[in-house]
Structure formats: structure tokens, C-alpha cells
Amino acid sequence: MTSRTDIVEAFAPAKINLFLHVGEKRDDGFHELESLVVFAEAGDALSFAPSGALTLTLDGPFAAGLQADGDNLVLRAARALATRAGRGAAAAIALTKNLPIASGIGGGSADAAATLRGLVRLWGLDVAWPELREIAAKLGSDVPVCVESRAAWMEGRGERITPAGWCWSIPVCSFRQRTCFERFLSAAGPARSITPRACIRAPTSSLC
């Protein structure tokens, strides 16, 4: 019987696109994307335990819409990581599906990314973030940004990630909107057209 200390847990937060620009279709069939992404506190929960085979069990309020078959993105992520690591894909994975399916919040991509993170720990692999994002890019356009699940700017078809050090939030204290814009323009440079891309170049600072 597997002890609790052998189980690795990972959280897969919902992805929110604060800004999304879909560009022209590329030669490879994908569209060029630009997006400012943040992550919510709501999400799916996954656990990983040692096993002699690769298995997936599903529960949660939205589990009925999924199949635990070979095409499931969680299982595909596990096999992709095992192939890169040169080892067998063996783990007992449990997914609690709290996020609605096909709702535009990256639930499947977040699950795949959480699987990569969880299995790196379970299997004791030495894999850096850039390599993990490279594996993620082969699974889907939204998976790379979900690997670290931090506010970021996405480009390309989703594989080019830049951490976002500055983005809008709703504060718990009062502040003057004019002050907010003055501080942003001071950090971003001379007054000019403000694009979402410029936001990530400005440092995070308190507005209160």
C-alpha cells in the first residue's frame, strides 16, 4: 500500500486572457498570437503516486465530460515527459476536475502543465523550466504558459513566454486613477501609445 508521503500533488489554476490578439495564419497552420495571461485561484487538483503502469482516474463536478483514455491531455503529457527522460511512463494519476470543459480558461492545458510539474517531482527528474516549456509546446499552444502558471506575455503560437512584472489588478485600498497612469508612464517611458506589451516592461510597485 502506497503511503501518503509517496504522493505528489499539483494544482492546475484556470488561465485568464486579459488581452488576446489573433494574427495571421502561419505556414504551419497555427495563428500568430499575442496575449497577456494571468491565473486564478480556482483550478483543478491532481495527485501522482508510484505505480507499475500509467493510469488516470477522474472525479470532480466536471469529470463526466472527460475520458481517461490514451488521448487525454494528462496522459499525453506524462508520455511526452517520460520519452524525453528516457524512462517508462508509470504513475497513478488522479484528476479532480473542478473547471468546466471547453470554457476558454485553459483547463486541459493547465492539467497537462501540472502533470509535467508533478511527474518531474515524482520521478526525481532534473528538468529546467525552458526544457519543460519545450515539451509543453508540443502538447498545445496554451500549455507552455501554464507550466509556471504566472502572469506572462505570450507570443508566437504560445511558445514564447515573457514574465509579466506589471499588470492591472483591483486593489484593496483606494487610489487615484491619475496617479496610477502617471506612475505607469514614468516607468514605461515618454508618453506614447500604451500597448499591453509595454505593461510587462514596467516594474511592479504599490499604488496605495
- Please state the three-class secondary structure of the chain as a single string: CCCHHHCEEEEEEEEEEEEEEEEEECCCCCEEEEEEEEEEEEEEEEEEECCCCEEEEEECCCHHHCCCCCCCHHHHHHHHHHHHHCCCCCEEEEEECCCCCCCCCCHHHHHHHHHHHHHHHHCCCCCCHHHHHHHHHCCCCCHHHHHHCCCEEEEECCCEEEECCCCCCCCCCCCCHHHHHHHHHHHHCCCCCCCHHHHCCCCCCCCC
pLDDT of residue 208 exceeding 50, the answer is no
pLDDT of residue 113 exceeding 50, the answer is yes
- The pair phi, psi for residue 32, each rounded to 5°, is -75, 130
Question: Contact at 8 Å (CB) between 121 and 105?
Answer: no
Q: How many residues does the chain have?
A: 208
Stretch(es) of the chain classified as CATH 3.30.230.10 = 4-163
Amino acid at 103: S
**Mean pLDDT: which of 3-7, 59-63, 178-182, 190-194 is highest?**
59-63
Whole-angstrom Cα distance, residue 78 to residue 118?
10
pLDDT of residue 114 exceeding 50, the answer is yes
For range 96-103, the mean pLDDT: 89
Query: In the numeric block, which cell numbers belong to residue 90?
Result: 508509470
Percent of the chain clearing pLDDT 70 (strictly above): 77
Read off the pLDDT of residues 134-160 as tens digits, 9 standing for 90 and up: 999 999 888 999 999 988 888 887 778
Read off the pLDDT of residues 71-97 as tens digits, 9 standing for 90 and up: 899 999 999 999 999 999 999 999 999
pLDDT of residue 193: 41
**Mean pLDDT: which of 19-28, 49-58, 178-187 is highest?**
49-58
For range 173-197, the mean pLDDT: 50
Query: What would the CATH number be for the domain defined by 4-163?
Result: 3.30.230.10
The catalytic site residues sit at 15, 142
Whole-angstrom Cα distance, residue 46 to residue 42?
13
Residue with more model confidence, 95 or 182: 95
Whole-angstrom Cα distance, residue 178 to residue 186?
12
For the chain, the average pLDDT equals 80
Q: Are strands 31-49 and 152-156 parallel, antiparallel or unpaired?
A: antiparallel
